[in-house]
Amino acid sequence: MRMRAPEFWYSDPNDTVAFVLKPLGWLYGFVGRTRASMVTPFRTSVPVVCVGNLTAGGTGKTPLAIAIGERLKARGLKVCFLSRGYGADVPGAMVVDAAEDTAEDVGDEPLMLAQHAMTIVSPDRPAGARLGVSRGAQVVVMDDGFQNPSLMKDLSFVVVDASKGFGNGCLIPAGPLRERVEDGLARADAVIVMGTGHVFLPVEKPILRATLEPLPEERVRLKNKRVVAFAGIGEPKRFFATVEDCGAIITSRHEYSDHYAYSDDDLADLREIAGAQDATLLTTEKDLLRLEPDVRAGISALKVVAKFEPESAAQIDQLIEQCLTRFLPPALAMH
């Protein structure tokens, strides 16, 4: 189970705990750079688009990967999503069956992705890409894996949470960074800032802006509705704010660690609270997918999509087209 990010990650970099842990962060960064320098990336026969980040924790990568996948599908391309399947015990590359597989089998994010296009879970990214190509994929979209050097990326987006940026600027475990900001941005083609707010970037890169928005019908469904909101994701507070933006009345809110595995007792407690507060249970799509189908009764999920600002949408289409023209016939690469 992934734990909640410690508060000192997003405070003063000279915080006592962060200061003490900095040498471990330097070692973490050195090991990562050394590992990357020793690997020759595998090149697939189709373009690979990566949606990753530089920090640990949720930034909205999966909804953005879906949004980019939908833009590629709109061009008539067969898309394959590629994920490592956090928390899943997958011995090799496998295609996700959205109707049969569970979050325990493949992870919650792959189940979300599989509702939109063929999705492959594989700790070995090259093996996953090869399987996708063998199944007819014309483009591979990686959900995460930006720091994994084993597969060559042709177009890389780094996602940044506008409200948190890069935290205290320290590497794990002293801070949230998976690698130095300068190193990561040097390999990125563009930065996608999720939410509103300014993020300082130490290098010049195209900046795209996007937000997570509820589907229009969700606003209608939730307006003035009393809900007990619960979430086990990277940023539960963002979910609660979206629920309130839909006009719902949150009678109580419950935060769990990212990728939390709900027990029968957890659900029984939540149902009891909802009953006492004359409210219904509401969670995220990822959380709902982690529940077994037979215990989902009476629990609904807030459906959201990643939306690009108009100017950013035009920029991302241009970047996609530039990437595709290096691989595909002009008729497929262009709109």
pLDDT beyond 70 at 334 = no
Alpha carbon distance 300, 166 (integer Å): 33
- The letter for the amino acid at 74 is A
Q: Calculate the CA 151 to chain-centre distance.
A: 19
Look up the CATH number of domain 37-77+138-209+307-333. 3.40.50
Q: pLDDT tens digit string along 59-93?
A: 889 999 999 999 999 999 999 999 998 877 788 89
Q: pLDDT tens digit string along 268-300?
A: 999 999 999 999 999 999 999 999 889 999 999
| Bridging pattern class, strands 155-161 and 280-284 | unpaired
Alpha carbon distance 110, 99 (integer Å): 12
What's the angle, vertex CA 185, arms to CA 181 and CA 186, rounded to 5? 115
Q: pLDDT tens digit string along 103-135?
A: 889 999 999 999 999 999 999 999 999 999 999
Q: How confident is the model at residue 235 (pLDDT cuts 50, 70, 90)?
A: confident
Residue 163 three-state SS:
coil
Taking the domains of the chain in order of start, what are their residue ranges? 37-77+138-209+307-333, 216-302
Instruction: For tokens 């009678």, name the residue.
Output: 251
CATH 3.40.50.2300 fits 216-302, yes or no: yes
Alpha carbon distance 259, 246 (integer Å): 24
One fold for both 37-77+138-209+307-333 and 216-302?
Answer: yes
Residue 92 three-state SS:
coil
CB burial readout 238-253, b (16+ within 10 A) else e:
bbbebbeebebebbeb
Q: pLDDT tens digit string along 305-329?
A: 999 999 999 999 999 999 998 876 6
Tell me whether residue 63 is exposed, middle or buried, using C-beta atoms within 10 angstroms of its C-beta: 0 to 12, 13 to 18, 19 or more: buried
